[in-house]
Amino acid sequence: MKFETNVTDIISRTYNVKSFRFPRVPSLHYKAGQFMFITIKSGEEEMKKHFTISSSPTEIDFIEFTKKLTGSKFSSALDALKVGDWAKIDAPYGVFTFEGEFEKIGMLSGGIGITPLRSMCRYCTDIQSETKITLLYGNHFEKDIIFRREFEEMQERNKNLKVVFTVSEPSESWTGYRGRINAQMIEKEIPDYMERVFYTCGPPRMVEAMEELLKDLGVPEKRIKKENFPGY
């Protein structure tokens, strides 16, 4: 469905990632992991792009997307948005979704690719799903980890959710994994990986690497669900 709306909230997630919220229209039904088209104005010019809906269907008051601000024309226009500003939404789209249909899933993500997985984890936590989820989330620096506090809180509320961060260039005080997601991490953190359906999302090269990793471990292609974010 398409509707005109106004920004209600802007949340800074990291130094270069922001979430933008809009009122939830009651007739808008979406699945965790789907995406939306958003049109914004820069002066008189309208600009349109598509982003994952980073909110969960259980968050009934708002719909949210989360964008890495890259310095592009669109990013600059977004960065200049204020609460109350006009926007147009066209949603929902996409088949990279999870509605509780699998008993055990693995999630492999990097950087901004976390947005659909945040929606799915939040959805499962809110509905007290029995699905066992292990998420491995890689970033360059600790300061790049998006939704870090929220994932920590979700794990406290949801005994079926395990979130493991890995950082390529950590500070001296970092006690978690170092480097990119690799086969050893999957074997250690998701030892029953052959029983799981995997969701992987991130920049195209990362998604490709994760698919190869899983295939090398023997995970059949039909159990690997992928979403690419081109442009990163």
Ligand X SMILES: Cc1cc2nc3c(=O)[nH]c(=O)nc-3n(C[C@H](O)[C@H](O)[C@H](O)COP(=O)(O)OP(=O)(O)OC[C@H]3O[C@@H](n4cnc5c(N)ncnc54)[C@H](O)[C@@H]3O)c2cc1C
Q: Which stretch binds ligand X (CB under 6 A): 19-27, 67-75, 153-161, 170-178?
A: 67-75
Give dist(CA 79, CA 12) in Å, integer: 10
Give the strands of the sheet with 161-167, arranged side by side: 177-178, 161-167, 132-139, 104-110, 197-202, 224-228
Q: How far is the CB of 177 from ligand X (least distance, A)?
A: 24
Q: Which of 26, 43, 220, 230 binds ligand X (CB under 6 A)?
A: 230
Q: Which stretch binds ligand X (CB under 6 A): 50-58, 98-106, 129-137, 155-163?
A: 50-58
* Binding residues for ligand X restricted to 87-106, rule: CB under 6 A: 94
Give dist(CA 170, CA 83) in Å, integer: 35
Q: Which of 14, 55, 66, 158 binds ligand X (CB under 6 A)?
A: 66
Residue type at 159?
K
12 binds ligand X (CB under 6 A): no
229 binds ligand X (CB under 6 A): yes
- Give the residue at shortest CB distance from ligand X: 231
Cross-strand pairs, 133: 105, 161
147 binds ligand X (CB under 6 A): no
Structure tokens at 21: 């919220």
74 binds ligand X (CB under 6 A): yes
75 binds ligand X (CB under 6 A): yes
Q: How far is the CB of 134 from ligand X (least distance, A)?
A: 22
Residues 19 and 81: beta-carbon distance below 8 Å? no
Residues 101 and 32: beta-carbon distance below 8 Å? no
